[in-house]
Amino acid sequence: MIYGIVEFIRLGWSLDHYFYTYAPVLGGVAASVGLFTYFFIVSVRQKRSWKNLLVLLGFLPYLYSLYIIGVLGLYTIFEGIVGVFSFWSMIGGLFWVFVGFHLIYRFYLMTEIVRQHDKKTALASSKSDMS
């Protein structure tokens, strides 16, 4: 998100640079809102009707991470090889691939913790119902 703000300052408000200005900022805001809403809904008592909303909110950070890997990472590496050959561009692309993978991995760990907690809660409640 900070990258998009810096690019707004550097490139201006033009739609010509959409993938480097608007998309990182709006995608970062959407992913952050989705992440915070996801954890707020998970922290309260879950109902069956909230499951679909949780799935949709969970996709926002994943999609933003894929955007970071694809556009800011792989496409930047591609530009550094095919366009004007630049080691700095390729190093920058590798950095964004690493950042995107790190975001996907961290969000996966957080959702896995929630899943394990729900599984243990269901197991504990079924044991208490049996006794």
| Residue range 85-108, pLDDT digits in tens | 889 999 999 999 999 999 999 888
What residues make up the domain containing 114?
Answer: 2-124
Q: Are 21 and 8 in contact (CB under 8 A)?
A: yes
What pLDDT, in 10s, does the model give residues 20-53?
Answer: 788 888 888 888 888 888 777 777 766 667 777 7
pTM for the complete prediction?
A: 0.76
Q: Are 94 and 73 in contact (CB under 8 A)?
A: yes
**Domain total for the chain?**
1
Kindly state whether residue 105 falls inside one of the protein's structural domains.
yes
Cβ-based burial of 113 (10 A; exposed 0-12, middle 13-18, buried ≥19): exposed
Cα–Cα dist 65/101, whole Å: 7
Tell me the CA end-to-end span of the chain in Å, nearest whole number: 52
The pLDDT score that the predictor gives to residue 131 is 59
Kindly state whether residue 130 falls inside one of the protein's structural domains.
no
Cα–Cα dist 98/92, whole Å: 10
Kindly state whether residue 129 falls inside one of the protein's structural domains.
no
Of the chain, the percentage scoring pLDDT greater than 90 comes to 24
